[in-house]
Amino acid sequence: MDGNTDEKIVFDILGGAPDGAILETMLICGFGIGNVIRAEFGAGKLEPPAYPSEWLAIDIRSIACDHYEVAGGNGMIKYVPCAGSTVRSLKLAEENGAVHRIGFTDIPDLGRYMLDLSAFAEENYGGNVIAFDLRDPEWIATPGRNVVLAGDPDAARRAGDANLCSSELTASLRCRCIRTPSNIIGRGKDSDCMPRYSEGFYAYARDCIRTITSGNPEAGRELRKLGLGVADYMDAARRAPFLSSASFLAKVDEEKEAAADWDGTLAMLLRKMMAAKSEMLKAEIGGRIGIVWRERDDGKADMKKAVYLFRKSADSGVRWARRELLSALWEDGSPDALLEMVSRAYEYSSEGDRDAMEFLGWAYEDGTGLPKNEEESKKWLSKAGRNPEKMSMWDQ
Amino acid sequence: MMPDDGYCSKKQGVPERKPPLDVLGVCIARDVLGLANRREYEVRKYTRPSLPGFADDERVEESKRLTDSDVEGKTRYLRRRKLDDLNRTCEEGLLRSGSEWLILELRTVSYEYWEAEYGGKTHYFLANTTTEREMRRAIRRRGAKLRSLRKIRIDDIPDTPMMVEAACDFIRKRYGDKVILLQQKEAIWRMDHFGNVRLNRTLESESMNRTIDRYFRMFLENLGCQFVRMPPDIISDAWQMWGDSPAHYVQEYYDYAYACIDDIISGIPGLEESLDRRFMEFSAQIEAMRRRKMKSRKNSVSRVYNQLEKTGDADLSIKSAMRFKNWANNPMLEAELDGVMGKIWRDRTDGKADSEIAWKLIESSAENGVDWAQTEYLGMLRGSGDYGKMLEAAERYASQGNNEAIGFVGRAYKNGEGVMKDVKTAEMWLEEASVRDVKWAVQEYMQLLWDSDPDILVEKAERFAGHSAIAMGFLGRAYRDGRGTGKDPEKAKECLSDAAGRKVEWAKEELDALIGSV
């Protein structure tokens, strides 16, 4: 391969409506793009390009997208990918009848179409086929370099469709599939449908493609290792801002100790909250502000505010704030507060929270918010591990 | 029964024995081998590595075999608090184990360690199972004067990279390339008791993951061995947990990892592709769970049983099992729910029990490969006296790797159920089942040897005494009666009291009788 190492590998791309994502990835990785083949299900046999390249990349992302179901004039129904066409344009084409938008898995006879695709790839490219699964990232790196979870329900559905599509294709084609790791981090979006990934991903894609095209007999092992590497990379990238927040919090606590009076502490914490970059960090500081509101002894203590802040903080996932919230609600003592305490304690203990179990135990013992019940109380307390005899050694 | 009356089934051989394993790891490796649908591997030595330099030879936990009760956390030996010393090694134990393969898992690197200075040396101990008071007492018992004691993280231990290298050298020398590294993560996603998956990301779990990832990479580079990947978005399951550790995952993980280990050890052709495909399938499953489109197996099944226990309403639980089955989207879960429904139909006490439906459901569950349902089904066949069918099914399940089925075949040959009595064949099957730790099979096997072949009895009983209390009891009987060996009341007393301590009722009675007679 001495002479060929510098030669650019050119890919034909097969997809429903190959969008920017795969083109951009290929170009960033330094590969060439030959023909772009658009596949519409039910539109008849796919024609191979006049000058096919050596390799074919199947763009799963654009195959497993939503489709328009178009009743053609000739009585045939075909399925056109939504990207790249609009209802208007489809209706304007004279022979077309009704147009509906349906999901990928709603296409009838999907398996047959998948087989058609693999047959096309097999006939024209032999074994030189790579399936490429580019997914919408769930984690997004914000401009402030925080990594946040962007739960997009639509992306969830698409990811499910893509999983189905890639497993069907790789099973029938026996080709290699480059999988986007499920913890992929994106850098926001250019447009509605085109994800941009963080840098590590492109390096991974390039390495994968090179490994596959080099014909290395150990390629399978190599690809698995690359997959391992990129997943670790994304994990590390996600963790980095999160971990640095520990030192941030340590500093906050230090300054809190040093602050002269309660108002000063409050002002400092609010300032820090504004500066905090991640939701988690904001929640942590919010909980600390709650403590100030509860503990200040200059006559301005406000339990309501404290409870509000603890609740918010606990809902954002701060563990210690849960305990504070429960005890604040307990102290409040009003029927509403107690009801909330009990229901929250049950919720948290269902997630294995020891403190919440302990609260339940006390509540039963005391008859606070719950009917007095010795047995239940003992049960919960021992569950919480207050009884050393019963403490589990399995909490590793 | 005559051999030519049509009952005699085609003789299939005893299923091939899987190579024995050693396990260096804590809960994950143990659970993979103990909680998966199949449990075919014999674990010779199971130690908890307190890292690289490994654990020590005398104080590390050494399990004889993994059994069901171990993974449920009921046996005492795993509850004992022990000290793991970094400065010593458990090399000898591993050298002597006689296993071919090693399963390595590195969860302990994320733990805290005690750094204790005494006797002019610094020692390191795992801190998760020992309190400061226990540490101090243990060191005092060694007769050493403690100079300092503090808790540190693994990164504060000097020269850990060197220790990793040393450990890898040892592993390579001992096992060659027959090492499987299990990747490990603290799950940052968590399925609660109702099947909702939430992000449960804490500073602690993230920093633990960072350490684990780093050491995993170090070991992988050093050993260059096979590995089993864990999806980055692995989910922990509230129904699977003891305490609130995020390292007890959804049931599907254990099956996935077990299948990978099985693939690697049996060295199937196209191994890498198969591992890759398994990983892809499993991460798609995990994703579906995270998107709330699918529940974990443990979650669905436990919820059905839990409902039954709480309400006592069998109709209601069957209804919810049906509902879960409709959602399931997972053939294994569907099969398991069939079995659960079958069990409820069979065992319900409200007068509506219907053995016909139960029979059908459990049979379909068994045919689809659910381990416990196969056992139930065989038991039902045996109970109904349909020995021919039982033997046929048992042989089939045994070839699929069901341990209890092997015992069923052995018992059939022993008692002449559906086949000619054949002591030699029965011995073969029952021995295999005993190796795989089927409790009642050990009893049957020992009884068979006791009646037919006392010379071998002592040898075999000694072999199984480690993991089976029943074998220990039989050893005691042999010494007491001088059967297959010389009479030795002292030894007999020792063995019987050991067996009695491990809750074998007849051993207790015989021990009392023995003491009384002396």
Contact A246 B210 (CB under 8 A): no
Q: By CB neighbour count within 10 A (0-12 exposed, 13-18 middle, 19+ buried), where does B339 fall?
A: buried
Q: What are the helix and strand counts (H, E) for chain A?
A: 14, 12
pLDDT at residue B56 tops 50: no
- Lowest-confidence region among B105-109, B252-256, B259-263, B412-416: B105-109
**Parallel, antiparallel, or unpaired: how do β-strands A10-15 and A55-59 relate?**
parallel
pLDDT at residue B256 tops 70: yes
Which residue in chain B has the smallest CA separation from A355? B244
Residue B193 touches chain A, beta carbons under 8 Å: yes
**Residues B186-199: what's their mean pLDDT?**
87
| CA atoms of A317 and A284, how far apart (whole Å) | 9
pLDDT at residue B73 in the model:
41
Chain A hits for B275, CB-CB cut-off 8 Å, are 220, 224
**Residues in A 198-257 with any Cβ partner in B closer than 8 A:** 219-221, 223-224, 227-228, 231-232, 234-236, 239, 242-243, 245-246
Residue B243, SS3? coil
Instruction: Pick one of 3.30.390.50, 3.60.21.10, 1.25.40.10, 3.30.365.10 as the CATH number of A244-390.
Output: 1.25.40.10
| CA atoms of B249 and B363, how far apart (whole Å) | 28
Which residue in chain B has the smallest CA separation from A170? B277
Contact B286 A182 (CB under 8 A): yes
Which residue in chain A has the smallest CA separation from B192? A351
**Residues B489-517: what's their mean pLDDT?**
83
| CA atoms of A196 and A25, how far apart (whole Å) | 9
Give how far Cα B56 sits from Cα of A311, B86, B107, B162, Å. Answer: 47, 7, 17, 18
> What is the distance in angstroms between the CA of the first residue and the CA of the last residue of chain A?
51
pLDDT at residue B243 tops 70: no
Chain B hits for A242, CB-CB cut-off 8 Å, are 201, 203, 206
Contact B238 A351 (CB under 8 A): yes
For chains A and B, what is the number of CB pairs under 8 angstroms? 125
Question: Max alpha carbon distance in chain B (Å)?
Answer: 80
Chain A hits for B193, CB-CB cut-off 8 Å, are 350-351
Mean pLDDT for chain B overall: 81
Give how far Cα B184 sits from Cα of A93, A143, B106, B274, B369, Å. Answer: 55, 31, 7, 20, 28
* B372-384 confidence digits (pLDDT tens): 999 999 999 999 9
Contact B128 A396 (CB under 8 A): yes
**Parallel, antiparallel, or unpaired: how do β-strands B112-118 and B146-153 relate?**
antiparallel
Contact B241 A352 (CB under 8 A): yes
* B331-379 confidence digits (pLDDT tens): 889 999 999 999 999 988 888 888 899 999 999 999 998 989 999 999 9
Chain B hits for A156, CB-CB cut-off 8 Å, are 291
B492 close to B514: Cβ distance less than 8 angstroms:
yes
- pLDDT mean by block of 10 residues, chain A; 396 residues: 60 80 85 87 83 89 86 80 80 76 86 87 88 85 76 74 83 84 78 70 91 86 90 87 76 82 88 80 89 88 91 85 90 88 88 82 85 86 63 38
What does CATH list as the number for A10-66+103-237?
3.40.50
Which residue in chain B has the smallest CA separation from A221? B272
Chain B hits for A351, CB-CB cut-off 8 Å, are 190, 192-193, 200, 238, 244
Q: By CB neighbour count within 10 A (0-12 exposed, 13-18 middle, 19+ buried), where does A319 fall?
A: middle
B471 close to B461: Cβ distance less than 8 angstroms:
yes
| CA atoms of B347 and B379, how far apart (whole Å) | 14
| CA atoms of B370 and B340, how far apart (whole Å) | 11
The separation between CA A67 and the C-alpha centre of its own chain, rounded to angstroms, equals 24
pLDDT at residue B6 in the model:
37
Contact A227 B233 (CB under 8 A): no
Instruction: Tell me B51's DSSP state.
Output: S
- Phi, psi at residue A21, to the nearest 5°? -60, -50
| CA atoms of B324 and B327, how far apart (whole Å) | 5
Residue A34, SS3? strand
Instruction: Please give the structure tokens belonging to residue A225.
Output: 């290792």
From the candidates B79, B109, B192, B287, which should be mutated to test the interface with A, based on the most A CB atoms within 10 A?
Answer: B287
Q: By CB neighbour count within 10 A (0-12 exposed, 13-18 middle, 19+ buried), where does B29 fall?
A: buried
Specify the length of chain A in residues.
396
pLDDT at residue B52 in the model:
43
| CA atoms of B201 and B241, how far apart (whole Å) | 17
B246 close to B200: Cβ distance less than 8 angstroms:
yes
Domain ranges of chain A: 10-66+103-237, 244-390
Residue A369 touches chain B, beta carbons under 8 Å: no
Which residue in chain A has the smallest CA separation from B283? A182
Neighbours of A50 (CB within 10 A): 6
From the candidates B283, B293, B294, which should be mutated to test the interface with A, based on the most A CB atoms within 10 A?
Answer: B283
Give how far Cα A273 sits from Cα of A268, A303, B473, Å. Answer: 9, 20, 67
Residue A196, SS3? strand
Chain A hits for B211, CB-CB cut-off 8 Å, are none
Residue A179, SS3? strand
A207 close to A227: Cβ distance less than 8 angstroms:
no
Helices (H), ranges, A296-368: 303-315, 319-332, 335-350, 354-366
**Parallel, antiparallel, or unpaired: how do β-strands A185-189 and A139-141 relate?**
parallel
Contact B291 A167 (CB under 8 A): no
**Angstroms from B237 CA to nearest CA on chain A:** 9
Chain B hits for A227, CB-CB cut-off 8 Å, are 229, 276, 279
Q: Which of A217, A216, A224, A141 is nearest to A178 (CA)?
A: A224
B12 pLDDT band (50/70/90 cuts)?
low
Q: HSE (CB half, 13 Å, CA atoms) of B308?
A: 22
| CA atoms of B187 and B235, how far apart (whole Å) | 6
H/E stretch holding B66 reads none
| CA atoms of A73 and B397, how far apart (whole Å) | 57
pLDDT at residue A192 in the model:
53
> What is the distance in angstroms between the CA of the first residue and the CA of the last residue of chain B?
45
Residue of B209, B243, B277 lying closest to A352 (CB–CB):
B243
Neighbours of A133 (CB within 10 A): 23
Quickly tell me which residue has 């649908």 as its tokens: B37
Chain B hits for A243, CB-CB cut-off 8 Å, are 203, 206-207, 210
Residue B100 touches chain A, beta carbons under 8 Å: no
Q: Which of B305, B302, B192, B201 is nearest to A347 (CA)?
A: B192
- Lowest-confidence region among A183-197, B1-15, B199-213: B1-15
Contact B213 A351 (CB under 8 A): no
pLDDT at residue B76 in the model:
36
Contact B183 A177 (CB under 8 A): no
| CA atoms of A372 and A365, how far apart (whole Å) | 6
B61 pLDDT band (50/70/90 cuts)?
very low
